[in-house]
Every structure is written in C-alpha cells, then in structure tokens.
Amino acid sequence: MIAFVRHGQTASNRGGQLQGRFDAPLTPDGEAQAARVAKAIAQERPVRVLTSPLARARSTADAIGTLVGVEVEVDERLVELDYGEWDQRLVTDVPAAAWREWRDTPSYTPPGGESLEAVTARVVDFCVSRIDEWRDELVVAVSHVSPIKAAVCWALAIDERASFRMQLGLASITRIGYTRGDTPHLLSFNETSHLQV
C-alpha cells in the first residue's frame, strides 16, 4: 500500500492562495500537523518515506522519517503542480474564463505552468515504478494536493476533472492499494482524525 500524506499548513495555504512551486516553509500550526500525522503513520511501520523536494513536504516527511527511523528520499515526481503565473494568486484573481477552462479541460496549462494531465502522467509513473515495493508493504509518499488527487483519479480510472470535486485536507492521509491483478484501488481518502486534539 502507498500512503500519500499531504504536507502541513503554510502561510499561503492559510491565506487561500494557489501554491505550486513557491517554496514556503510550514507555519507553527503546520509543524504541529506534521508531528501529528507522523505519529499516526509511524505506528504502521512504513518501510520507506519518499517526498516532494519542496520545503513544506520535506519538513513533513522528515517528521515521519525521524519517528520511523528511515532516511527520507526525494522524488521529483511528487512535486506540486506548477501554476506558473498563477502561483501565489487568490483563485478570485485568476480570470474567470481561464479558471473555467482549467476546470473543464485537463490538458489546459496555466501560463508558464503545467496541466493536470502532466501531473497525472508523472504521478502514475511514480506509482507504477514503486509497485513491487508497496504491493505488500507500506510506503509513505509526502506530496501536495494536486499530485495526490491525480493518484486518486488514476486508482478510480476517472479523469482529472473529478479532482475539483475532492476536498483534501492538510496533513491528511490517502491510501492506494494494488491487487494481484495489477489494478490500483482507493483504500481511504482524506484521513484527518489524527489531527484532532
């Protein structure tokens, strides 16, 4: 099984801004979220912890790796979608027509950015390349909202437009399994009970 963990809170998340490749650190609340998700997932004894290269994911992954006692590995395919010129904007600041096209057309690319189809391609490549590792053991992948939703779309055999109908919380856990018939399946989505205090 692969457990996708979304990183903890950043100031951009808190402010409601689109956050792609902008490399913001965790807030104090985000660090607390990372500690809670680390405690929850460490109890399951994952065999590997992989992460996006961005600081918010790295910090979350480091909290997990420390408790598990494994070295965190960076995998570029787990990086957040590139919003290009939209990065750090509020959704309301993106032209309405462009936002509609973005939601309706998975191949649409924000100016200077990356399409949802491109995100799916690299996330599927990540998952397929790790199949032999996570078929029978738990591998943790710390990533971001768009790649995790892309993994869910792949597991459910639906296109990327469905991602706009998903709500994925900070420091949440989403699990994908893989059957002997080589079919991915969604085991859980947006687990957040570990964040309750």
Yes or no: say if 116 and 163 are a contact pair by the CB < 8 Å rule.
Answer: yes
Active site residue 7: yes
User: What's the number of domains the chain is made of?
Assistant: 1
User: Strands 2-6 and 173-178, how do they pair?
Assistant: antiparallel
CATH of the domain at 171: 3.40.50.1240
Residue 70 reports pLDDT greater than 90:
yes
Question: What pLDDT, in 10s, does the model give residues 19-53?
Answer: 999 999 999 999 999 999 999 999 999 999 999 99
Q: Which residues of 42-70 are buried (b: 16+ CB within 10 A; e: fewer)?
A: beeebebbbbbebebbbbbbbbbbebbeb
Q: Which residue has the tokens 């690299």?
A: 122
Catalytic residue among 80, 114, 160, 191: 80
User: The pTM is what?
Assistant: 0.96
CA distances from 31 to 52, 67, 166 (A): 17, 14, 24
**Tokens describing residue 178:** 């893989």
Yes or no: say if 31 and 194 are a contact pair by the CB < 8 Å rule.
Answer: no
Catalytic residue among 7, 114, 160, 191: 7
What would you measure as the largest C-alpha separation in the chain, in angstroms? 48
Residue 135 reports pLDDT greater than 80:
no
- Which structural domain range is residue 87 located in? 2-195
How many helices (H) and strands (E) in the chain? 7, 6
Residue 159 reports pLDDT greater than 80:
yes
